[in-house]
Structure 1
Amino acid sequence: MAYVTIREVAQRAGVSVSTVSRALNHAGRVSQVTEARIEQIAKELDYIPDSRARAMRSSRTKTVGLLVPDIRNGYFADLAYAIQDTLFKQNYSTFIGTSSESGSRQDAFIMSILSQRIDGAIIVPQGEQTKALRQLVARGLPVIFVDRHVKGMRDVPVVDSDPFPGMESALRDVRDHGFSKVGYVSGPVLDSPSLQERELAFRQVASRLFGEENLFVESTSFDQASCASVLHRMSDVGADAMIFGYSPDAVRAMSLLNDTGATPGEEMSMISFDDLDLFSLSSPKISVISQQVQEIGHKGARLFLDMLAGKEIEFHERVKTIYIPRGSLGTPRIR
């Protein structure tokens, strides 16, 4: 397929190539009538501007690298969409990659975008700082982290959620439902500062509301067997109400309950971080601590655009979590 060139648009319009360029880039010195006629001809010819040529004429490529852990995860899909949508409205395209919660895959994506012309990157980082992350920052391009931060990289702006407000409301609801013991499943906490902060929020709020002796905290790895063993230990100590700091663990718990014919809110009461579509479609619906992912995405994209524009920015913007009560929190079992 032969692509239409800017010269062909100019010939059809009866003007110079430079006039077409100014008209399509809204660069002035072209009458509104002529500009409208050129835009119509370009549309009729299916003319697509050469982004490489534009990049050579300016310092901007209008392309942003965006890395999330797993685009199949509803939370990260919503986050990516919010970022992409906000950037698109400002005529930016996104080059999206997934790390699959792997530091090596994260670094491979970063090295890939560093070999291309991009205006900057928005990253959901993995664990500790790496050589590739340091190289990305050292390049001098605008870079921000969303959802998570990286220890020791305070010079990179972050947009994430504050787990304390939602955790406070959720634990008060657990107490008001009559529970005297509460469990917390933190997820793969060792490599995630965000999961560590959620666990800290649980410990601080729950110890005040329930007493330290009535708290039970467990971490998990990434598999079903790990989650199953954690749930059994929680049940053995009488913690029938559980909060999941990592939504994939909550999904695994729902699957395990379904396999045994049990129902959330009856045999086990549960609350999860992240308002996934699955949680509002299940029966009963799952109570959640929402990070307000759309707001995180929009704030992250706007912060990135402000960096590009050279504006003063806040280096740490937080979105308050909110608790959404539903049907998965019942009453304590009689033992």
Structure 2
Amino acid sequence: MGSVWTAIFVVLAAISVSHAQLSPTFYNQTCPNVTNIVSGVITSAAQSDPRIGASLIRLHFHDCFVQGCDASLLLNNSATIVSEQTALGNNNSIRGLDVVNNIKSAVESSCPNTVSCADILAIAAQVSVVLAGGQSWTVQLGRRDSLTANLSLANSNLPSPFFTLDQLKQNFSNQSLDTTDLVALSGAHTFGRAQCRFFDNRLYNFSGGNPDPNLNTTYLATLRQLCPQSEVGRNTNLTNLDLTTPDIFDKNYYSNLQLKNGLLNSDQVLFSTAGADTIAIVNNFSANQTAFFEAFAASMIKMGNISPLTGSQGEIRTQCNMVNGASSGLMGVASAESQDGLVSSM
């Protein structure tokens, strides 16, 4: 009987570990300096690339929306893996993969085989917000890295900058995120950049050959100079997602929406959709930056809890761009002419 009870205990323990909850103290004993390591690499990268914070948040978002927060987005193509980096919402628009690679190398030097790439993305998102002037939050840790990627799921799950409000709501609801989460997480567009091809339809032929009526006419004229009609759908010129404080994490994103100065359609619909319940949330965040910061932190924690691998699931990758035991290679770096922020591109 002793051996039987031992076997049962081992099975129950394995089940318990595999369904373990994330914890902010997960690395307290095994890698207590991990957040400082991540912060150091990002601080250094930001000196030459002020966009990197928005790019790293976007990586975390695009990872979590596809089979959970498991670093599947970071996997390159291989003999057994079709990378998510070529999905419609990622191809030629994600960036910062080289910085993630640098973070992983620094963490491995200090704490070998300990910190997952999925957790690195979660920490990097929080650090990026703090460095840009936003509020900190307690990052839940203990995720493990997937052994697979899912290109078809990335194509279906990542939201588009052309989405209507109803489409955005459904997209977030599919991830168990509610309307407040949608509005709060969209606030990541308080910094970062976007290419003309993701919004130039609003400038010329939005409806019946006319520009989007929910676009400020002064802003329209400025954007038309950057994005000429002859290049609609192809122009990769960049402009700030927040035309007022483009590199600072603040509430101005919502104030811009009130003035019809939202850059992407998926931004402006939060305020300009008649009768929408998102309007009151935008107004609240515009008037109260603390309310926005607190809601953003809560929603980031909630998003970071989407289907994590824990316990004995997955693995701790030694290189973020490949599963352990795969052939060596460099992490693919997306085009520098890319969109930042949370809402994806098509």
TM-score (norm 2): 0.28
Larger radius of gyration: 1
Higher strand share: 1
